[in-house]
Amino acid sequence: MSQQLTEQGHGHYIGGEWIDSTGRGPASSRTQSDDDGSERTFESENPATGETLATFQRGTTTDVDAALEAANDAFEDWRDLSYIDRAEYLWDIYHELRDRHEELGEIVSKECGKEISEGKADVTEAWHMVEWAAGNARHPHGDIVPSEVAGKDSFMRRKPRGVIGCITPWNFPVAIPFWHMAIALVEGNTVVWKPAEQTPWCGQIIAEMMDDAGIPDGVFNMIQGFGDAGAAITDDDRVDTVLFTGSAEVGHEIAGKVGSEPGKLAACEMGGKNGIVVTEEADMDIAVHSAVMSSFKTTGQRCVSSERLIVHEDVYDEFKAQFVDIVEDIAVGDPLEEDTFMGPAIEADHVEKIRQYNDLAREEGANVLVDRFELEDSEIPDGHAEGHWVGPFVYEIDYEPDLRCLNEECFGPHVALIEYSGDVEDAVEIHNDTPYGLAGAIISEDYRQLNYFRDRADIGLAYANLPCIGAEVQLPFGGVKKSGNGYPSAREAIEAVTERTAWTMNNSTDIEMAQGLSADIKTSED
């Protein structure tokens, strides 16, 4: 456990110092109160056991104001450093992430409930992103653009936008913060970050890493807390770009507010109602394996999880039988155990949300194939009765475009099987018929079907003969339609945290214009 603990809980990291919260936030079910009833702290909870892991102070608007002031004051000195000097700070963090891989992976699993291989992979993904961002500091930046005038040189250059507000989710509590912050920092911006309230311990450790690396005061700042602290960050005029990963509802609210402010930008990566198309030309082993991975890894709590399996009528019965057989036996259990496939849901409110979507599917005519929502007592590990346990729920339903269960994201182990007839064009039409457009996959041995899906599926992340989960850090990560605008990772994130400058320099002693525009100055005497 980290050491920045006061009697009132872990504080915030602002301007290079650990500080206590300076005010009080609104009520929350996970807060502790002062004698006057005002909330001052909240708890990190292990979703597998219900036990408290640590206590944290809840950020206020006053705390956010101090963090933004520190970030704003630090910006000019930070941008004056070279790319390479800025990246040097991140190399220390890269090595710490690698050295503490096992320890941090276990912390991730304890705090957000992901099974242990996923907890470790979260940390690995973080160091991959730091490696990419820091290594990119030595790569070419900008472009030389030919001019139609021989005496001119033209360039495209980038400069940092300024203060970046980062709001990150609980399901990737180490990886996604570094998606946002590693690139923002190397590009010369300063950062104010609010981790998810469900995973403040991971946030605490990342802030300690930044402190240990000697990041200059004010360049990185962290505020713990809830949505009110996040809103105070995103709404402030000092924030030039908002990087958000989370729910569509919150993301669209942020994008709407930020989009109305001239010069301000919001890069939001949100949810999905992702689908896998299994054609009549599919390899059935690959199809079933991909579907199980896509639907139930992280207990379905990934923005790229598949909640719709769109299967051709010629292979539907075979696929259904094999898929259901495996799902009925998926190992749900202690996320720290190597033989666990699915851990718990993140919190009690989310268990209830999953229940409501399972009930909705029944109301809309679903034929339930697997209902392990309420696990048997024997399936719950000893000492874990207070955890937020939930099992797989699988149903088949006739496709209708207006069904809520096929259009709304559950964000849990809730999966629909949809039978289709006809060609791959018909499958892709069903696949695209949701408000979302994040991730999807096609399983087929016919390259023409694969290419049709690649070109016509309305998604930002497309997979062939693979699960529709994950993306290597050097690839873009984001979606279309309600799922966002595709900025959050690698080169695309650079677009969000920098501004382009088209720089043209005249090398001649004369002025000559492009497009045949006359450079002659004429006076009335002429």
Residues annotated as catalytic are 269, 303
How far is residue 510 from each of residues 144, 232, 522, measured CA to CA in Å? 22, 52, 16
DSSP-assigned letters across all residues of 465-516: SS-S----TTS----SGGGB-S-SSHHHHHHHHEEEEEEEEE-SSS---GGG
236, 233, 216, 172: which is closest to 489 by C-alpha? 172
Q: Side chain identity at 267, as an amino acid letter?
A: A
| DSSP helix/strand/coil, 299 | helix
Q: Side chain identity at 193, as an amino acid letter?
A: W
Across the beta sheet with 39-45, the strand order is 5-6, 9-10, 52-57, 39-45, 31-33
* Contact status, residue 360 vs residue 404, Cβ threshold 8 Å: yes
* Contact status, residue 382 vs residue 336, Cβ threshold 8 Å: no
Cα(183)–Cα(495) distance, rounded to whole angstroms? 10
Cα(214)–Cα(492) distance, rounded to whole angstroms? 27
| C-beta atoms surrounding 125 within 10 Å | 21
**Strands, E assignment, 279-424:** 306-312, 367-371, 393-396, 414-420
Token look-up 């001052």 returns: 40
Instruction: Identify any residues that bridge with 310 across adjacent strands, giving them in sequence order.
Output: 277, 418
Q: What are residue 301's phi and psi, to 5 degrees?
A: -100, 50
The burial of 505, by beta-carbon neighbours within 10 Å (0-12 exposed, 13-18 middle, 19 or more buried), is given as: exposed
Asked whether the CA dihedral 303, 226, 167, 257 is positive or negative, the reply is positive
Residue 438 DSSP one-character state: S
Cα(19)–Cα(40) distance, rounded to whole angstroms? 13
Q: Sort strands 414-420 and 393-396 into parallel, antiparallel or unpaired.
A: parallel
Q: Sort strands 498-506 and 152-160 into parallel, antiparallel or unpaired.
A: antiparallel
